[in-house]
Chains A and B, each alone.
Chain A
Amino acid sequence: MGMKCEVSNCENEATVHLTEIREGKKHEMHLCERCAAEKGLPGKSHFSISDLLAGIASQAQQQAQKPKRGKEAACPVCTTTLTQFQSSGRFGCPECYTTFKEDVLGLVEKIHDAAQHVGKVPKRVSSEISLQKDLRQLQLDLKRAVRKEDYEKAAAIRDQIRQMEEKVKAEESQAQADAPALPKPATPPVPPPGHGKKKTDGGEKK
């Protein structure tokens, strides 16, 4: 049990804790939800971030105790560990989201009840995403052409892919400089023409 509500004659547990810095002095209040409401103070919010972080912490400790014998995993860019994150509630760098992906996704889902961003996308990123989408489409087309042994077309597509890859690389190197960038999906190498599988079925039309 935690502390009791500070209102006299109230026996309830204090669940609303308020700290106010007023004129340089710290004022603390510990009340139960009912007394807090009577005083016109906001009650406890519907979820507590510290509870969630505590959940992550116990996971982190379990992981640390696993017979890995090594140190707890740390972010390669900023050296933040999961335990550090738990005590501060803050990550050290964007890369932490990748380093601790599994734990992060679980936590993020608990907080937001979602794990996929659907809001605004920076224009630069949206053009990058569409470029990569085009690239993936071209690679599919290339495979298809190779399968059909249409090497002339395959060579043309391959050139187009190379051009686009160079464009992506140029953009990346310009933007990245010293960035701990987010990993991008690697582009599979273009198979040389004539190395493709034999036609398996006639399912696809030109």
Chain B
Amino acid sequence: MIKSSGEWMRGTGPEAEIVISSRVRLARNIRGFRFITKMDATERGSCETLIQNAILDAKIAQPNMYMPLHKSEGLDRKFLVERHLISKEHEDAQHHRGVAIGENEAVAIMVNEEDHIRLQVLQSGFQLPEAWKICNRIDDELEQRLEYSFSPQLGYLTACPTNVGTGMRVSVMLHLPALVLTRHIEKVFQAVGKINLAVRGLYGEGTEASGHFYQISNQVTLGRTEDEIVKNVQDVIPTIVGYEHRARQSLLSKDRKRLEDRVWCAYGMLKYKHVLPSDEAMMLLSAVRMGVHLGLIKDLSLRTVNELFIFTQPAHLQKLTGRALEPMERDIKRADFVRAKLAQCKH
């Protein structure tokens, strides 16, 4: 996995220059089991086995792509978080739990997270209905093999009532550097807040919007059909993407020199730096990514920039190096990695 990159990092798909990825996740619990917090070790173990067998039987993941996380190394778990395949909570937990990863990393099923099953489908670019279609199909497959906890009134029963009903969270990851630079990002939050959607940072709940990445997602999971929830998020994205496009064009037309300076400085820094802390890398890559989209930088692809964002994360760097690294060593390795990668691109 360290050598490859997930489907969603490809920088393809509709609106890929601004919409990084589209994600749909479903929360499900198995009837006959308590929720995670009240389970003892035996119950967690048998719940995990039951779900694991169903996943493998349905051929959603290859047997070697089911990872029992309680037996795994901390670094491997961090790596999966950076890849958006497991949550931070899943990384940190202590009990019996796992993750199944499907082809191209487009599908990931967390087992024994906050709910027994957290099924996610990640697609590159703006492809929410497609992500939902895949997710729904996999959910059907699992449903044939497992009995879900379900109430006709409250729908799929989840450990937290914020997920009850459809158990569905739909989110879109956006790259909005120009709206931040032009100080219009607040308008986005206002527009989004009005229609019951949430804005979060790169790695979900409680994380900072580093690298100018923002996740827009639904909050309401009950009283609407899955299609309506998808549509609710789907409808707001073109407006935000439109704002970002306009902000980028206005920077180009009204402040071109300063924009070019920002983009090229960032590119130069990435090409020549020898010590590169994570925050700095994110900010520089963000400017470069915008420069690639606006045609200022012509010898780099969005895919390369997307991959650099992920491969320069701490666990990725350590996996690439093959050992644990101290923070300073990481900053040096990060700079080395970025320099080497950018040197491969012709100027």
Q: Mark A114-128, 1 if CB is under 8 A from B, else 0.
A: 111111111111000
Q: In the complex, A69 Cα to B183 Cα: how many Å? A: 58
* Chain B minimum-CB-distance residue to A119: B166
CB distance from A67 to the nearest CB of B (A): 29
- List the B side residues contacting A65 at CB < 8 Å: none
- List the B side residues contacting A114 at CB < 8 Å: 165, 220, 222-224
CB distance from B334 to the nearest CB of A (A): 11
- From A85-93, A141-149, A186-194, give the one contacting chain B: A85-93
Most-contacted residue by chain B among A42, A79, A104, A178 (CB, 10 A): A42
Instruction: Find out whether the CB atom of A129 lies under 8 angstroms from the CB atom of B152.
Output: yes
Contact size class for A?
35 or more
Contact size class for B?
35 or more
Given known contacts A49-B162, A97-B157, A117-B223, A18 and B32 CB-to-CB distance under 8 angstroms: no
Q: In the complex, A181 Cα to B161 Cα: how many Å? A: 18
Query: Is A45 an interface residue when CB atoms closer than 8 A count as contact?
Result: yes
Query: Is A29 an interface residue when CB atoms closer than 8 A count as contact?
Result: yes
Instruction: Find out whether the CB atom of B35 lies under 8 angstroms from the CB atom of A112.
Output: no
Instruction: Find out whether the CB atom of A119 lies under 8 angstroms from the CB atom of B35.
Output: no
CB distance from B315 to the nearest CB of A (A): 10
Instruction: Find out whether the CB atom of B278 lies under 8 angstroms from the CB atom of A22.
Output: yes
Query: Is A155 an interface residue when CB atoms closer than 8 A count as contact?
Result: no
- List the B side residues contacting A129 at CB < 8 Å: 152
Q: Mark A65-95, 1 if CB is under 8 A from B, else 0.
A: 0000000000001111000000011111110
Query: Is A182 an interface residue when CB atoms closer than 8 A count as contact?
Result: yes
CB distance from B309 to the nearest CB of A (A): 14
* Chain A minimum-CB-distance residue to B149: A94
In the complex, which of the residues B160, B206, B229, B327 contacts A91, with contact meaning CB atoms closer than 8 Å? B160
Which residues 99-121 in A have Cβ within 8 Å of B in the complex? Answer: 104, 107-108, 111-121
- List the A side residues contacting B189 at CB < 8 Å: 37, 42-43
Q: Mark B31-73, 1 if CB is under 8 A from A, else 0.
A: 1111101100000000000000000000000000000000000
CB distance from B81 to the nearest CB of A (A): 10
Q: Mark B100-119, 1 if CB is under 8 A from A, else 0.
A: 00000000000000100000
Query: Is B80 an interface residue when CB atoms closer than 8 A count as contact?
Result: no
CB distance from B289 to the nearest CB of A (A): 15
Which residues 24-55 in A have Cβ within 8 Å of B in the complex? Answer: 24, 27, 29, 37-38, 40-43, 45-47, 49
Q: How many A-B residue pairs have CB under 8 A?
A: 175
Instruction: Find out whether the CB atom of B151 lies under 8 angstroms from the CB atom of A117.
Output: yes
Instruction: Find out whether the CB atom of A112 lies under 8 angstroms from the CB atom of B222.
Output: yes
In the complex, which of the residues B144, B162, B201 contacts A111, with contact meaning CB atoms closer than 8 Å? B162
Instruction: Find out whether the CB atom of B209 lies under 8 angstroms from the CB atom of A41.
Output: yes
Instruction: Find out whether the CB atom of A90 lies under 8 angstroms from the CB atom of B37.
Output: yes
In the complex, which of the residues B159, B209, B219 contacts A45, with contact meaning CB atoms closer than 8 Å? B219
CB distance from A100 to the nearest CB of B (A): 10
Most-contacted residue by chain B among A97, A107, A176 (CB, 10 A): A97
In the complex, which of the residues B32, B154, B219, B327 contacts A179, with contact meaning CB atoms closer than 8 Å? B32
* Chain B minimum-CB-distance residue to A20: B208
Q: In the complex, A66 Cα to B296 Cα: how many Å? A: 70
Query: Is B88 an interface residue when CB atoms closer than 8 A count as contact?
Result: yes
Q: In the complex, A121 Cα to B209 Cα: how many Å? A: 36
Instruction: Find out whether the CB atom of B151 lies under 8 angstroms from the CB atom of A93.
Output: no
Instruction: Find out whether the CB atom of A108 lies under 8 angstroms from the CB atom of B154.
Output: yes
Query: Is A201 an interface residue when CB atoms closer than 8 A count as contact?
Result: no
In the complex, which of the residues A19, A45, A112 contacts B165, with contact meaning CB atoms closer than 8 Å? A112
Instruction: Find out whether the CB atom of B35 lies under 8 angstroms from the CB atom of A117.
Output: no
- List the A side residues contacting B21 at CB < 8 Å: none
CB distance from A127 to the nearest CB of B (A): 12
- List the A side residues contacting B168 at CB < 8 Å: 119
Query: Is A175 an interface residue when CB atoms closer than 8 A count as contact?
Result: yes
Instruction: Find out whether the CB atom of B143 lies under 8 angstroms from the CB atom of A122.
Output: yes
Q: Give the A-binding residues of B (Cβ under 8 A).
A: 29, 31-35, 37-38, 88, 114, 136, 139-140, 143-144, 147-157, 159-162, 164-166, 168, 180, 183, 185-186, 189, 193-194, 196, 198-201, 206-210, 212, 214, 219-226, 229, 278-279, 314, 327, 330
Excluding A43-B186, A104-B161, A121-B152, 9 further A-B contacts by CB distance (< 8 Å) are: A20-B207, A37-B186, A78-B34, A111-B220, A112-B222, A114-B224, A115-B222, A116-B222, A120-B166
